[in-house]
A and B are shown apart, each in its own frame.
Chain A
């Protein structure tokens, strides 16, 4: 029998006892709806968490810095704890290859064994790695900020334009920097409160920062003895910045170093100003002339690529840091959550599949004679089996499609309800419900498969029916 004929006969048979078959189909629909509802909740929550985390910059960022072991002088023995590794379990360990050379002759006055220097060529090299969106130096320095002629000591950090996407700017009042090197500043709400009674009042006002400029010496020039030793001169400077916005928290990026920054300026501007940072002091003590960075922040396309970028950077001789382990746990959590939601959702479908078996077995009893007739006029066992499978599959498909729609509708209702609640709590609306296309197709496909499996026994039983027996009685 041709597939089309089987389907046509199947739908005809299903229409014959429309009420019973509709109820069975509705059972499948409810089962599929519960499965879709559960899974789309899982998927939606996962998306939501993923979106939030990506926005936070926590999971697609790799910080690259110079490998270093402080206090590894000959007199200190094998005290392996260092500033980065101690007490920070979330840090990926950076000193894997350092214990071997603990007794190697120290080459610099501080007695630290060191890895590759993070400088401009390193930055170029890192930005050429696959999946790297951007590499920018972490600029963070301690300076004095003057506002209304009153001095405030604080850490100042520089932000690249891309940090605008960070969720820290959800709370932005005012605006972001108008251009990558605008002479503008953002301040933390907490700091703004120190400046004005109403934090919003600082927007549009001016502040000036005092910093030290690192100025390279012209070749051949021998200024003071001090300058000759340092390789560059340090000049105190002042820069006026217009406050354009206020934010509640600092965007993630880098190691944060010694202090939370409370004032932010555009990265390009900060680089142009050649502000002296602690790394400069270190590089001076090592007798280097070239510019080095404290650390570089590497933004990666998506969290999955973090590991590869980190490995590549380590191979290049740098120490790295990321929160990859945290994302890995998060993924595992969602996989388990989805599994459980799926199992609970499938329970209803399992009950529905019993309904299919019941309906089809009933149909065999009712259509006993009809099956006998079909066999007598030339239907093979396979034809009868095909016919019953076609009926099961039709119910499965119809139930699946109906169920997806039902599940989607339930999801919409719950989503709307949640958002009304969120709004009452003064929170922005969220999409916690997501029905992706793979779920639509998967749910319908799954319900067809479940129906076919449910049809196995009835179909085999119908196919086995002895036509002589079936035709014997009126």
Chain B
């Protein structure tokens, strides 16, 4: 992952991969406006492991979706690798999701009709990577998360931890520079959750990926993240640096 240090336009002394400026995301629910994200500004340094903490409804998942390019801000700037996601076309956003970010979800979000190998290959299909290269990379990614022997299993034949590891392998497939995790341990028991956290830390440390993780468990954030940001009612409430 050497390119990450040389690629981005923001390779100055700050080296921030993510800059969020006054981001708002408002929903209209009937006559009331829900301010899920209400004027958030933050930066994420390259190679950082950031935890977004908050109770449910605090807007942390919405903020993550904005970073993932799945959602667009009502107003504000979401800059990743120097490009404002708010100004991208939907095709550019698709390319961004395909090449720049990888996502891990609380509910794994694997496609049940596909084997885990096919699931991991799927994003590479959209990226139009050759079949042979695709297969090689899928096996490599699954090997990295310790599932090299279960390529032909379907998600339902795997435990929750194994499913989440497959999901992580899929997120790694296109070699993203930014890894986003939405409550990755939320559906797992604490021991399996710890395994997943270990893998995520590895991605952050040995692969040098920037990691933004949403969680509501403060303990997990404290143990793993470099820095934690607390959100409440769509606003930044508290920022804590662990290390």
By a beta-carbon cutoff of 8 Å, the part of chain A in contact with chain B is 1-2, 5, 9, 12-13, 16, 369-370, 372-383, 467-468, 471, 474
Contact = CB atoms under 8 A, between A and B. Distances in A.
A378 B71 contact: no
Given A378-B174, A379-B94, A16 B123 contact: no
A16 B126 contact: no
A374 B94 contact: no
Contact of B125 (A5, A13, A474): A5
Contacts, number: 69
A377 B98 CA distance: 6
Interface string B99-111: 1000101010111
A374 B122 contact: yes
Interface string B112-127: 0110000000110111
Interface residues of B, number: 28
Given A16-B113, A380-B91, A474 B107 contact: yes
B202 to A, nearest CB: 21
A379 B126 contact: yes
Nearest to A373: B109
B91 A381 contact: yes
B105 A378 contact: no
Interface of B: 65, 68, 70-71, 90-91, 94-95, 97-99, 103, 105, 107, 109-111, 113-114, 122-123, 125-128, 170-171, 174
A378 B90 contact: no
Contacts of B170: 377
A267 B61 CA distance: 99
Nearest to A381: B90
Contacts of B98: 377-379
15 contacts: A1-B128, A5-B125, A12-B113, A374-B111, A375-B97, A376-B68, A376-B105, A377-B103, A377-B171, A378-B97, A379-B98, A379-B126, A380-B94, A381-B94, A468-B71
Contact of B109 (A1, A379, A380, A471): A471
Contacts of A369: 109
Contact of A378 (B107, B109, B111, B127): B127
A378 B126 contact: yes
Nearest to A383: B126
B57 to A, nearest CB: 13
Contact of A377 (B107, B114, B126): B126
Contacts of B111: 370, 373-374
A380 B113 contact: no
A471 B105 contact: yes
Chain A interface mostly helix, strand, loop or mixed?
helix
A199 B17 CA distance: 107
A382 B91 CA distance: 8
Contacts of B95: 378, 380
A471 B71 CA distance: 12
Contacts of B122: 374, 377
B109 A376 contact: yes
A376 B94 contact: no
Across the A-B interface, give the 6 residue pairs with the lowest CB-CB distance, nearest first.
Answer: A378-B98, A380-B94, A377-B123, A378-B126, A5-B125, A378-B97
Given A383-B126, A467-B70, A377 B97 contact: yes
Contacts of B94: 375, 378-381, 383
A465 to B, nearest CB: 12
A467 B71 CA distance: 8
A383 B113 CA distance: 19
Given A377-B122, A378-B123, A378-B127, 18 more contacts: A1-B126, A2-B125, A5-B125, A13-B113, A376-B105, A377-B97, A378-B95, A378-B99, A378-B174, A379-B98, A380-B90, A381-B91, A467-B70, A468-B65, A468-B70, A471-B70, A471-B105, A474-B107
Which of B65, B107, B123, B125 is packed against the most chain A CB atoms within 10 Å?
B125
A240 to B, nearest CB: 86
Nearest to B114: A12
Contacts of B90: 380-381
Contacts of A468: 65, 70-71
Contacts of A378: 94-95, 97-99, 123, 126-127, 174
Contacts of A2: 125, 128
A474 B108 CA distance: 11
A382 B111 CA distance: 20
Given A1-B125, A5-B125, A467-B70, A376 B107 contact: no
Contacts of A16: 113
A471 B104 CA distance: 12
Contact of A376 (B70, B91, B99, B125): B70
A123 B91 CA distance: 74
Contact of A375 (B70, B99, B125, B128): B70
Contacts of B103: 376-377
A268 B37 CA distance: 104
Contacts of B123: 377-378
A473 to B, nearest CB: 10
A375 B127 CA distance: 12
A314 B113 CA distance: 76
Contacts of A381: 90-91, 94
Contacts of A374: 111, 122, 126
Most A Cβ at <10 Å: residue of B68, B98, B122, B126: B126
A12 B97 CA distance: 24
Contacts of A376: 68, 70, 97, 103, 105, 109
Contacts of B110: 373
